[in-house]
């Protein structure tokens, strides 16, 4: 396969970092190249290659790399290109049980009632009371981004807050989404 079937979509998905062991091995290889002036296949390094290898060698900070990659993240890794595969985030409802394949933007009355009762007719962003005629249901993970129409993924918002949010994921996504999985003991000290 020469391209990812998800095309430009995967450009926004992170690559899984190499582990500390792989980084150490790579750093040792770079050091060997610097000492011998040759690549692994025995060809001599050009001046530009030497400069690039020196810069790369100096920029590697071992504490920036995780000791291991959690299994749940390894399973979501694209086997061809190494990025976090969007199929694990966007199309899950399409691949599960028959009930979950009934994927629709339409919110059944039963689910609406459960969400309104749970949220107490209070906007979950500005915390103001929302009159019956102004209640809007917000998909926390937007429907356009693969969010299901379930009680867990819906909340009550007032009209202004719902329009402000649109189909943004910024409220729920961390700037560094994989950071909690790759934090090292030494970073927190």
Q: Is this model's pTM higher than 0.75 or not?
A: no
**Closest to 143 measured CA to CA, from 128, 117, 162:** 162
Dist. CA 146–CA 92, nearest whole Å: 8
**Mean pLDDT across 161-186:** 66
> What are the extents of the domains in the chain?
7-91, 104-165
8: pLDDT strictly greater than 70: no
What average pLDDT score do residues 62-82 get? 81
The three-state secondary structure class of 69 is coil
Q: Which residues are CB-neighbours of 120 under 8 A, at least 6 positions away? A: none
Tell whether the model's pLDDT for residue 17 goes beyond 60: yes
pLDDT in tens, 103-147: 567 889 999 999 999 999 999 999 999 998 899 999 888 887 777
Q: What single string gives the DSSP state of each residue in 114-155? A: HHHHHHTTB-TTT--B--GGG-EEEESS-GGGT---SGGGEE
The pair of structure tokens assigned to 186 is 């030494």
């Amino acid at each position: 396969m020469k391209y990812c079937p998800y095309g430009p979509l995967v450009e926004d998905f992170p690559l899984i970092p190499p582990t500390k062991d792989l980084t150490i091995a790579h750093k040792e290889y770079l050091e060997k190249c610097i000492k011998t002036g040759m690549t692994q296949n025995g060809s001599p390094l050009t001046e530009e290659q030497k400069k690039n290898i020196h810069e790369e060698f100096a920029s590697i900070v071992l504490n920036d790399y995780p000791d291991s990659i959690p299994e749940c993240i390894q399973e979501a890794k694209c086997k061809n290109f190494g990025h976090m595969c969007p199929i694990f985030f966007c199309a899950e409802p399409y691949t599960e049980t028959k009930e979950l394949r009934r994927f629709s933007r339409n919110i059944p009355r039963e689910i609406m009632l459960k969400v309104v009762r749970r949220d107490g007719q209070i906007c979950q962003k500005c915390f103001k009371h929302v009159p019956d005629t102004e209640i809007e249901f917000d998909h926390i993970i937007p429907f356009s981004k693969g969010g299901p129409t379930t009680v867990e993924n819906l909340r009550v918002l007032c009209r202004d807050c719902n329009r402000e949010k649109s189909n943004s994921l910024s409220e729920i996504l961390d700037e560094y989404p994989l950071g909690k999985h790759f934090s090292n003991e030494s970073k927190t000290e």
